[in-house]
Structure 1
């Protein structure tokens, strides 16, 4: 696993697997401002957008990555609600989901053209 936050290590693993499977990913990361603060440049209602957008023959997955004890912010919960209402597959992935094989199962289904409905915890 990568050093740093558990979410960062999980993200690295997920993106690597997506590349192997031929899936496309988008992640928007923060940049350091002139005042020494980290900010992700977003417009409109972008604050809280899921960590990963993953595209394959089976559709699009929106996934928030959290540590085992991590929880979504208010903005992240709102985006999950809005995307779900629009029919999107939205869920939270944690390191245990990598260990259990859940993440690989969902990504392989996306690759085969079938999306496994996401679930939350």
Structure 2
């Protein structure tokens, strides 16, 4: 197959979870999320707790986000945490590199798209 015939694949879709997390944290801080928490060693944490907790004091928004590589799987424990947070009225969801490519993460962090918790 010639290069010109190969389907285009955005390199962002190949980001590791670590690379993805670094980009999300950098963007969140640029957009006013002054408080960001991520566990450095999840083996010492409660199973399933989301990767990131981000707080923007100016907009009074807190986001709980589980980051996955494009083909990464969400565990049962992670689903329990995310569902529990949503039921409690919090923003909690899974983000993948395709959400970055689509601009959805930028929209959510900048407040252009506000997703309400679902019960």
Tell me which interval the TM-score lies in, with the shorter structure as reference length.
0.7 to 0.9
Q: Is the 8 A contact 2:37 2:53 kept in 1?
A: yes
**Residue aligning to 1:28:** 39
Tell me how far 1:71 sits from its aligned partner: 1.7
Tell me how far 1:40 sits from its aligned partner: 2.8
Where 1:40 maps in the other structure, the secondary structure is: helix
Aligned-partner Cα distance in 1 for 2:92–2:72: 17
Aligned-partner Cα distance in 1 for 2:98–2:113: 20
User: Which runs of no fewer than 5 residues in structure 1 stay unpaired?
Assistant: 31-38
Q: Is the 8 A contact 2:15 2:97 kept in 1?
A: no
**Residues 91-110 of structure 1 aligned to structure 2 (within 5 Å):** 91-109=93-111
**Residue aligning to 2:115:** 117
Aligned-partner Cα distance in 1 for 2:69–2:116: 18
Aligned-partner Cα distance in 2 for 1:8–1:106: 20
User: Which runs of no fewer than 5 residues in structure 2 stay unpaired?
Assistant: 1-10
Q: Is the 8 A contact 2:107 2:113 kept in 1?
A: no
Where 1:18 maps in the other structure, the secondary structure is: helix
**Residue aligning to 1:49:** 49
Task: Give the TM-score normalised by the residue count of structure 2.
Answer: 0.76
Aligned-partner Cα distance in 2 for 1:19–1:118: 22
Q: Please identify, of 89-98 and 54-63, the stretch whose mean Cα deviation from structure 2 is larger.
A: 54-63
Task: Give the TM-score normalised by the residue count of structure 1.
Answer: 0.75
Q: Is the 8 A contact 1:29 1:40 kept in 2?
A: no
